[in-house]
């Protein structure tokens, strides 16, 4: 079964003015779609064609001879996860168990914001900033290019894409402004809380 490009979980204009419909049309409709097409071409008529995407990512991670497959598989997964990390009317401060866990593991919500912004803005070149569950503890981390927490035994809870195509049309070189806009206005804490609950 060939992978299909998953639909955005909201209208393309839903994230404006923080992420424009124009950015989403390129980011989802071109970049994400290309990773899906590349993945399907690389797995066609191979045993991987029928395997779940997450399993393929874990199996080929670290295998230099499968770098192309890993990069496209992980980028498909990372992008789908990123779209779900965002929502219209998001941002602000989470509540309940998620907030308690952030405060217990990361010091405070403000400290989390500080650490997450630092991870996102100091990722050299292309990559991702993440909130993950690792050994039962929350951690802020970052990965380069297509790398993903799945390849490191971590459970992803939230991400922000810091490849230039994620923000350049709207923010040019102002990556910190993009990251702040996402955290303050678009972060889907309900999705994060669901991921944390499922990981228990």
Q: Is 45 annotated as a binding residue?
A: no
Q: Is 165 annotated as a binding residue?
A: yes
Q: How far is it, in rounded angstroms, from Cα 64 to Cα 11?
A: 38
Q: How far is it, in rounded angstroms, from Cα 23 to Cα 144?
A: 21
Output the CA torsion sign for 183, 188, 190, 195. Answer: negative
Q: How far is it, in rounded angstroms, from Cα 172 to Cα 69?
A: 30
Q: Is 79 annotated as a binding residue?
A: yes
Q: Is 88 annotated as a binding residue?
A: no
Q: Do the beta carbons of residue 15 and residue 86 sit within 8 Å?
A: yes
Angstrom distances, CA of residue 58 to CA of 81, 161, 176: 16, 20, 31
Residues making up the binding site: 27, 79, 161, 165
**Binding-site residue ranges for Mn(2+):** 27, 79, 161, 165
């Amino acid at each position: 079964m060939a992978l299909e490009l998953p639909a955005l979980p909201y209208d393309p204009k839903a994230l404006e003015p923080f992420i424009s419909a124009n950015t989403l049309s390129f980011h989802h409709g071109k970049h994400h779609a290309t990773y899906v097409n590349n993945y399907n071409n690389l797995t066609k008529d191979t045993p991987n064609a029928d395997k779940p995407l997450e399993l393929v990512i874990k199996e080929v991670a670290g295998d230099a001879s499968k770098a192309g497959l890993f990069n496209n598989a992980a980028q498909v997964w990372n992008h789908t996860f990123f779209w779900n990390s965002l929502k219209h009317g998001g941002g602000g401060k989470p509540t309940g168990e998620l907030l308690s866990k952030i405060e217990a593991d990361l010091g405070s919500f403000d400290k989390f914001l500080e650490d997450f912004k630092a991870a996102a803005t100091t990722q050299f070149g292309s990559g991702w900033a993440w909130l993950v569950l690792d050994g039962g503890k929350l951690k802020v981390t970052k990965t380069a290019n297509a790398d993903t927490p799945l390849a490191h035994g971590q459970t992803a809870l939230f991400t922000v894409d810091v490849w230039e195509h994620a923000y350049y049309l709207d923010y040019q070189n102002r990556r910190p402004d993009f990251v702040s806009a996402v955290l303050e206005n678009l972060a889907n804490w309900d999705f994060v809380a669901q991921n944390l609950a499922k990981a228990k």
